[in-house]
């Protein structure tokens, strides 16, 4: 089939997003935005009024509404499941809270062998509401794919070991370099939990997944490969036998792109610090890519945004597949209209 006759997708499995992730021809470059479901939207703030974040994540009708909001508003090519990377940790019994403006805060940090008892495997019965939310969404979304997600073991370990968000990850690194046995035991448990969380979402109907290793850019490549990559690989391998593409993303991971691809991803997410031409050279053309508009550029006048979008599409044309996204999450004070305009521009410039 020639590219000019690529039909509009009738099913999520044949959508532009899934096809791009597999390096197949697409009707247009698919677009979605990390953190598209959230605080930049007034309808999100209204829907969330009076409901704590973790409670919201466990309420299927609310999860479905919030997940659908950016799809309706921006015309993006995929929905990202409204949840949080710490939801599966709470589901297995970790006492934590998501504090507005701060992030996840863990009541008692995990730092000893005895603490590992607090991280049993996640089983589907612990997250029946997640299955329910995904099922509602898949029904409502029709041909638009739903992206499921999980936090990768390193990033989850950082929250658990530090007890909350951290700039330097000093306790995390102290444990990793100081007690490798405990480190590997901890990450192996987190891989089981994250892998199960991904599997639940895909079995309920999600058409793609993203593994967020947001903070792993804090490590040099050799240490990534020794201390982290086997566990991220195990997380993604939990999806073996389920036919969905896997996106692997982290911030400041320019030096790790290839190793993150080799952990078992189909698509490597690129943050805004690395140009896509450089990223593609590092990836040897072996993976589709996702990215990478700097979310802060959305605060510049439209002509500056348009110029950058054109440059990104131009660089990405050499990739085996490209999913347009930001280089990290939507900032809370972003003008949502900019996201709508960027979506329309990417579609217009790439229509085949």
Which DSSP string do the residues of 219-241 spell out, in sequence order? S-HHHHHHHTHHHHHHHHHTTTT
Beta carbon nearer to ligand CP3, 195 or 329 = 329
SS3 of 288, please?
strand
Candidates 39, 118, 221, 341: give the one binding ligand CP3 (CB under 6 A). 39
Annotated active-site residue 44? The verdict is no
Q: What single DSSP character describes residue 218?
A: G
Segment near ligand CP3 (CB under 6 A); pick from 101-109, 187-195, 234-242, 272-280: 101-109
Residue from 7, 50, 101, 301 binding ligand CP3 (CB under 6 A): 101
85 binds ligand CP3 (CB under 6 A): yes
CB-based contact 213:269 (threshold 8 Å): no
Q: Among 14, 22, 25, 39, which one carries the catalytic annotation?
A: 39
Q: Which of 84, 213, 271, 294 is catalytic?
A: 84
88 lines the binding site for ligand CP3 (CB under 6 A): no
Cβ-in-10-Å burial (0-12, 13-18, 19+) of 215 comes to buried
60 binds ligand CP3 (CB under 6 A): no
Instruction: State which residue, 277 or 340, has the beta carbon closest to ligand CP3.
Output: 340
Asked about 84 being catalytic, the answer comes back as: yes
Q: Which of 19, 44, 48, 224 is catalytic?
A: 48
Is residue 335 annotated as a catalytic residue, yes or no? no
> Which of 51, 205, 57 is CA-nearest to residue 140?
205
The mark string for 230-269 relative to ligand CP3 (x by CB under 6 A, - otherwise) is ----------------------------------------
Contact 144, 79 (CB under 8 A): yes
**E strand or H helix at 187, and its extent?**
helix 180-203
First to last CA, the chain: 13
3-state secondary structure at position 329: coil
Closer residue to ligand CP3, CB minimum distance, 211 or 288 = 211
Nearer residue to ligand CP3 within complex by CB, 27 or 41: 41
How many residues line the site for ligand CP3 (CB under 6 A)?
A: 23
By CB under 6 A, residue 103 contacts ligand CP3? yes
Among left, alpha and beta (phi > 0; psi -120 to 50; other), residue 31 is beta
Q: Examine residue 297 and tell whether it contacts ligand CP3 (CB under 6 A).
A: no
Contact stretch for ligand CP3 (CB under 6 A) within 98-106, 112-120, 231-239, 337-345:
98-106
Hey, is 293 helix, strand or coil?
strand
For residue 262, the tally of other CB atoms under 10 A from its CB is 18
The closest of 8, 217, 238 to 123, measured between CA atoms, is 238
**197 interacts with ligand CP3 by CB under 6 A:** no
How far is it, in rounded angstroms, from Cα 182 to Cα 179? 6
Measured from the CB of residue 24, what is the shortest distance to ligand CP3 in angstroms? Answer: 25
* 29 touches ligand CP3 (CB under 6 A): no
Interface residue list for ligand CP3 (CB under 6 A): 34-39, 48, 53, 80, 82-85, 98, 100-104, 149, 212, 214, 329
Q: Which residues are catalytic?
A: 35, 39, 48, 84, 159
């Amino acid at each position: 089939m020639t590219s000019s006759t690529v039909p509009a997708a009738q099913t999520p499995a044949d959508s532009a997003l899934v096809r791009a992730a597999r390096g197949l021809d697409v009707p247009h470059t698919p677009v979605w935005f990390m953190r598209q479901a959230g605080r930049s939207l007034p309808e999100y703030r209204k829907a969330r009024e009076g409901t704590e974040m973790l409670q919201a994540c466990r309420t299927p009708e609310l999860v479905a509404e919030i997940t659908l909001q950016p799809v309706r508003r921006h015309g993006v090519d995929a929905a990202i499941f409204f949840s949080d990377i710490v939801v599966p940790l709470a589901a297995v019994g970790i006492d934590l809270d998501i504090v507005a403006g701060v992030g996840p805060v863990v009541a008692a940090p995990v730092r000893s062998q005895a603490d590992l008892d607090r991280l049993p495997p996640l089983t589907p019965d612990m997250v029946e509401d997640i299955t329910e939310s995904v099922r509602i969404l898949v029904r409502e979304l029709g041909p638009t794919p739903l992206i499921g997600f999980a936090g990768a073991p390193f990033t989850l370990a950082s929250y658990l070991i530090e007890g909350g968000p951290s700039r330097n990850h000093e306790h995390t690194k102290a444990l990793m370099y100081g007690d490798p046995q405990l480190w590997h035991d901890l990450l192996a448990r987190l891989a089981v939990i994250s892998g199960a969380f991904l599997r639940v979402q895909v079995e309920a109907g999600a058409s793609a997944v993203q593994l967020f290793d947001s903070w792993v850019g804090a490590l040099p490549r050799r240490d990534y490969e020794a201390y982290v990559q086997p566990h991220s690989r195990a997380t993604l391998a939990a999806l073996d036998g389920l036919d969905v593409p896997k996106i692997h993303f982290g911030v400041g991971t320019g030096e790790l792109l290839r190793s993150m691809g080799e952990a078992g991803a189909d698509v490597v997410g690129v943050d805004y610090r690395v140009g896509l031409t450089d990223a593609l050279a590092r990836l040897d053309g072996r993976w589709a890519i996702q990215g990478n508009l700097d979310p802060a550029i959305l605060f510049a006048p439209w002509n500056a945004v348009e110029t950058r979008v054109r440059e990104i599409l131009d660089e990405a044309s050499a990739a085996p597949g490209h999913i347009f996204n930001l280089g990290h999450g939507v900032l809370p004070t972003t003008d949502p209209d900019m996201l709508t305009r960027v979506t329309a521009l990417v579609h217009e410039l790439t229509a085949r």
